[in-house]
Structure 1
Amino acid sequence: MSTLTQAESSFSSTSPLDMTRTMPPNITGFEERMRRALENVANQSDLAFLVQRHRFFGSEHERSSVANWLARRLGDTPEIARTLITGGTQNALMILLRSLVGSGGVLATEKFTYAAIGQLGRLLGIEVVGIELDDDGIIPESFEAACQRDNVVGLYCNPTCHNPTTSIMSTERRRALAEIARRFDVTIFEDDVHGALTDEAPPPLATFAPDRTWYIMSTSKLIGMGLRAAFVVGPSVEAVVDIQKKLPSVSAWFVPGVSTVMVADLIDSGDADIFASKIRAEVAARHALVRSIIQPIELVHAHHSSLHIWVDLPARWTIETFVEAAGAEGITVRNPAVFATAGFEITRNIRLSLVAPKSQDDLSWGLGRINRLLRS
């Protein structure tokens, strides 16, 4: 391996460059607008109530704002009674999976999937089975085989800018999965966290299987993880009422009141859409850096809207040796084992966040080091 110059090693000599987490990148005007949103919270006439009491699933106005905003993805505006604002995707999934899959039940998911799914399965006593993937996402025949073999109760999936492979499931594939889920009476938990940021994303699975899909979108990639806010749309008013009755006062289910006011304010003012537009532009610029630095570019799997890339490692590398070598170069990367479901192993890929580095210059520095490792 070549030796870095003093200027090049600025990250490794102070703190490593993080390329693990995906969150909204820095965009102009963000802090100013968030300060105004916080001022609007402070000016609420019911500020004491807002801080001292549960907001539960948001006020009727806040849920209406969210429902109208989600209509852009769902095609139609969901009823307010089907729309909940919750305390984040993980909290919502914990309660949905506990209630609708249950201890001893079987949850199918992509063989490589959101790292929290395996953890939630172990916590709730749910068996998680992996489904084969290709460049178009879940393979329908693999899903159908699992339904026949394993008595699958639920399907968790991330069909738009899939984590970690970045694939975007086609409309035809979504329609096929919806038909299989209906035939085997499987409940779908659709995580559309990247839906608002992805150019020309196909319609959600919820539009093909509205009778059995719990649709989830979060503010974590659009605004920030700190709000602890996610949006859940149930398949029917009755289904939403039923699950609320089962767990009426579990506080992890509820969104912080301050967050609901801010979310509605950002949606109503149009700032949420401005954030999305600016993030798309920033992410596109970061993908342009990838294309100009990583060689051969064929090693990279990516969609121009994805917040991360999925990189094929040359045969001379193992996951462990690459993670160690990146660390020696001053770059923190995550072992991708966290994304693999039981029985599957990731041996030739690394996920790299394009948005954890604070600036394009920082990202360029990191990509240069990564490229040198890939070519060494």
Structure 2
Amino acid sequence: MGDCQKFHLDRNLPPEPPESRDGLRSTLLKIVDNGCINGIMRHHRYGDNETDQLAASKWLGERFGDVDLSGRIVLTNGAKNGALLLLSLVAKSGDTVVTEELSALAAWEIPRLLGIRVIGTPIDAHGILPDAFEQICRLHAPRALFTVPTLHNPTTHVLGLDRRKDISRVAEKFGVSIIEDDICGMLLPDAPLPFACIGPSNAWYVTGVGKTLSPGFRFGYIVAPTSQHARDFIARFRSTTTWVPSPLSAEIIAHWIADGTAKRVLAAVREEVTARQILATSLLNDCDIVAKPWALNLWLRFPMHQSAADLLLAARREGIFLGAASIFNTKSDRPTNSVRICLGGPSLREELQTALQRLSNLI
């Protein structure tokens, strides 16, 4: 290793703009100064109070437009926590869940924890293939489809509206619930509508602020198909572990949404992510990369005669840590010769530039 400096391009984090630090300092002072901090810290936030519902409706309105979300929103301790809860709600041990053949679900311990079987459905450059998904539904009778259709992790693809409609029709035909993880949806301006707007009777929506505002909040939302689904969800999980967000995180997020801080931080994150994507694609322009301007990562593909595993080892010797494609692969018999390169890990853009220059030399 050339020096002791380490570059973590394996952590899919958003950059932290000054607007985030300044906003947090200002909001914390306001919360303390208004004299109600003790009351805030003594009560759980399930999303069933007016302040949280108004804030959530305003924030999620960026994705849902004019769709009425009254009573359908539940607060959670982050998107991954929300995904765990929803999968445990719609599937039981021994059931089958479908996901993209390259999927964040494969990288998590959730399937093993719940005892569910995961089947990966084929994807192309635009996401899930509806015909392939229908064939899986016919053969395996899955209980749910878990999908990350917007700025997909790890390939960055965006599933178009027409395919979403086709997939929604297939899911409804076979009685399959849809769980949409939209953790990066806010990063993409004019992103396609969520499944919950297309097939509201069987679609659950889960998101968080970890990729858009700050991972430190551990805060997220679930949008249930109906208000009754939301009430049933809360009744089932109300006393279970620590699935609700910390009251302080919920209060800060409510303040940020109400006074516009959240929108300013999001805009700053988008701007920095776009700048980092431009930097990365310029330095790796001779490589086969898949990228979107607002994605937090690149997907680097290798031809058959080259080995992604060799690059992972060589990069690690140089202090550069990358994401192995194998952790996302649902099909162990079909290895993926690719690498995920995350752009938000280094605090400074200059650090990212140094890491990518070294990486380019290795490739």
TM bin (shorter chain):
over 0.9
Q: CA deviation at 1:342?
A: 4.3
The answer to whether structure 1 residue 226 and structure 2 residue 216 are counterparts is yes
Q: 1:192–1:215: 8 Å Cα contact kept in structure 2?
A: yes
Match of 2:132 among 134, 138, 142: 142
- Using the alignment, how far apart are the partners of 2:52 and 2:67 within structure 1? 14
What is the one-letter code of the residue matched to 1:151?
Answer: A
The answer to whether structure 1 residue 90 and structure 2 residue 92 are counterparts is no
Q: CA deviation at 1:316?
A: 4.2
Q: CA deviation at 1:304?
A: 0.7
The residue aligned with 2:58 is 68
Q: CA deviation at 1:135?
A: 0.5
Q: 1:337–1:345: 8 Å Cα contact kept in structure 2?
A: no
What is the one-letter code of the residue matched to 2:263?
Answer: D
The residue aligned with 2:290 is 301
Matches within 5 A, 1:237-316: 237-297=227-287, 299-316=288-305
Q: 2:58–2:257: 8 Å Cα contact kept in structure 1?
A: no
- Using the alignment, how far apart are the partners of 1:24 and 1:255 within structure 2? 20
User: Secondary structure, in 3 states, of the residue corresponding to 2:157?
Assistant: coil
- Using the alignment, how far apart are the partners of 1:218 and 1:239 within structure 2? 20
User: Secondary structure, in 3 states, of the residue corresponding to 1:29?
Assistant: helix
Q: CA deviation at 1:270?
A: 1.0
What do the CA deviations read for 1:7-31 (whole angstroms, capped 9, x no partner)? Answer: xx7xx52231110111220323321
Q: 2:106–2:330: 8 Å Cα contact kept in structure 1?
A: no
Q: 2:12–2:344: 8 Å Cα contact kept in structure 1?
A: yes
The residue aligned with 1:366 is 355
Match of 2:158 among 162, 168, 175: 168
- Using the alignment, how far apart are the partners of 1:90 and 1:193 within structure 2? 9
Match of 1:349 among 338, 344, 362: 338
What is the one-letter code of the residue matched to 2:27?
Answer: A
The residue aligned with 2:38 is 48
TM-score (norm 2): 0.95
The residue aligned with 1:329 is 318
- Using the alignment, how far apart are the partners of 2:165 and 2:140 within structure 1? 22
What is the one-letter code of the residue matched to 1:365?
Answer: T
- Using the alignment, how far apart are the partners of 1:152 and 1:253 within structure 2? 26
User: Secondary structure, in 3 states, of the residue corresponding to 2:119?
Assistant: strand
- Using the alignment, how far apart are the partners of 1:349 and 1:148 within structure 2? 31
Q: CA deviation at 1:334?
A: 2.2
Give the root-mean-square deviation of aligned CA atoms: 1.8
TM-score (norm 1): 0.92
Unpaired runs of 5+ residues, structure 2, are none
The residue aligned with 2:176 is 186
What is the one-letter code of the residue matched to 1:325?
Answer: A
Q: 2:107–2:327: 8 Å Cα contact kept in structure 1?
A: no
Which stretch shifts more, 165-174 or 343-352? 343-352
What is the one-letter code of the residue matched to 2:116?
Answer: I
Q: CA deviation at 1:247?
A: 2.3
Q: CA deviation at 1:269?
A: 1.0
- Using the alignment, how far apart are the partners of 2:257 and 2:140 within structure 1? 42
Q: 1:60–1:80: 8 Å Cα contact kept in structure 2?
A: no
Which runs of 4 or more aligned residues in structure 1 lie more than 6 Å from their structure 2 counterparts after TM superposition?
Answer: none
Matches within 5 A, 1:97-108: 97-108=87-98
Q: CA deviation at 1:145?
A: 0.9
- Using the alignment, how far apart are the partners of 1:60 and 1:329 within structure 2? 52
The residue aligned with 1:4 is none
Question: Aligned residues: percent identity?
Answer: 28
Q: 2:122–2:128: 8 Å Cα contact kept in structure 1?
A: yes
Unpaired runs of 5+ residues, structure 1, are 1-8
Q: 1:63 to 1:344 in 2, by over 3 A?
A: farther
- Using the alignment, how far apart are the partners of 2:46 and 2:198 within structure 1? 29
What do the CA deviations read for 1:286-336 (whole angstroms, capped 9, x no partner)? Answer: 111123211315x01011110100001244432321110011222111222
Q: 1:44 to 1:234 in 2, by over 3 A?
A: farther
- Using the alignment, how far apart are the partners of 2:275 and 2:69 within structure 1? 37
What is the one-letter code of the residue matched to 1:57?
Answer: G
